[in-house]
Chain A
Amino acid sequence: MSGFMETEEQARHRFQLELEFVQCLANPNYLNFLAQRGYLREKPFVNYLKYLLYWKEPEYAKFLKYPHCLHMLELLQYEHFRKELVNAQCTKFIDEQQILHWQHYSRKRTRLQQALAEQQQQHQPQAPSHGNTTSK
């Protein structure tokens, strides 16, 4: 069984499969799904997850569109994490935190914009006040 030769076509196909699958791991709901069906308890699956770590290498990582999956993959190497994923509350929490983190930069940007707008408002009232004194 081990060491069977696959054609290049098969290898490319496998590449796409693994690319898709590893990115699916970024989805906490999918992780919950896997955990509840007991996949995360099976040794071959765990070994497969360890094998998937090759996506961390730069020449492979550049194909990933959802980089969160790499962090999830790293966490999945720990048995404690895999055990916790069965819990729906846990995955919900992960989902929330993930989305909040995802919004981090846009929040920061809106904050900066607000700060800039406030600064400009502070500068502006000085100009009309000059006008008032002269008109009087």
Chain B
Amino acid sequence: MRKRGETVMAAAAEKSTKEKLLSTLDDIEVLSRELIEMLALSRTQKLPQPGEDTDILELLVQRDKEFQELMQTAVEQGEVHQEMQALEKEVEKRDSDIQQLQKQLKEAEHVLATAVYQAKEKLKSIEKARKGSISSEEIIKYAHRISASNAVCAPLNWVPGDPRRPYPTDLEMRSGILGNMSNMPTNGVNGHLPGDALAAGRLPDILTPQYPWQSADVSMGILPPHHGNDFGLEPPGHNKENEDDVEAMSTDSSSSSSDSD
């Protein structure tokens, strides 16, 4: 029999079935002993009290009835207890099922998160590739242009002493727009025009052979990106290195040192 825990409050104290049974048994034991004693005594002497044996008998019967009732209760309680145990088992089973599902859900979530992340990476690289895509036609055309002028590959008959170079030579630089800047009225706004540095060397020739590296096909209509025209300001974004000592220099020295004139 499962013992029901006794409550602290004495007023509401309920005895467990077990205790009740045991106390009833005790009572029956006591009563039956008395009865037997009385019967034993009545052999030798008269009863001191006339109705005592019937009293005891009545009490005995009563106790027996109680006992039977208590036994019935006990049996019912036992059944209930069994049901409870069965239900508890069910609950445990369900619990473990839920935990299992939880684990699987977590795994699935992890797998999906990985998949999504990788897909995103892939999309990024696709976007990057698409951004940089150029038609092969154009690339081949460009390759022709830069190779034909010997800009990236030396001419086959080149020997040391040949004035040709993979970059614009002095002569070429002077004969361009930049080289002739000091002859033209400057815009004045970009006072720091690096063309002045070029103009520092004396320009002997007026004739300006147009080399192909200078003339872009202006009819293409392409324009340079607009800028605020004040390069003295800090540009957006970071510089590539920690330029501590550069910043120590004064930024208002925007005057170009033109040694000419």
Contact = CB atoms under 8 A, between A and B. Distances in A.
Interface of A: 1-4, 8, 10-21, 23-24, 26-30, 33-34, 37-39, 41-48, 50-51, 54, 58-60, 62-69, 77-80, 98-99, 101-106, 109-110
Interface residues of B, number: 66
B206 interface: no
B246 A41 contact: yes
Contacts of B155: 106
7 contacts: A16-B177, A20-B177, A24-B178, A51-B231, A66-B213, A68-B151, A77-B239
B159 to A, nearest CB: 10
Most buried by A among B189, B192, B195, B225: B225
Contact of A17 (B195, B226, B232): B195
A23 B235 contact: no
**Do most interface residues of chain A lie in helix, strand or loop, or is the interface mixed?**
helix
Scoring B193, B213, B226, B254 by chain A CB atoms within 10 A of each residue's CB, the highest score goes to B213
B52 interface: no
B78 interface: no
Nearest to B179: A20
Across the A-B interface, the 8 shortest Cβ-Cβ residue pairs: A26-B167, A2-B228, A44-B231, A65-B213, A27-B167, A47-B231, A103-B154, A102-B166
Contacts of A44: 192, 230-232, 251, 254
Main secondary structure on chain B at its contact with chain A?
loop
A37 B256 CA distance: 10
Contacts of B153: 102, 104-106
A48 to B, nearest CB: 5
B197 A34 contact: yes
Interface stretch (B9-17, B27-35, B214-222): B214-222
A29 B153 CA distance: 20
Given A20-B178, A23-B167, A34-B194, A65 B249 contact: no
Contacts of B187: 10
Contacts of A24: 167-168, 173, 178, 198
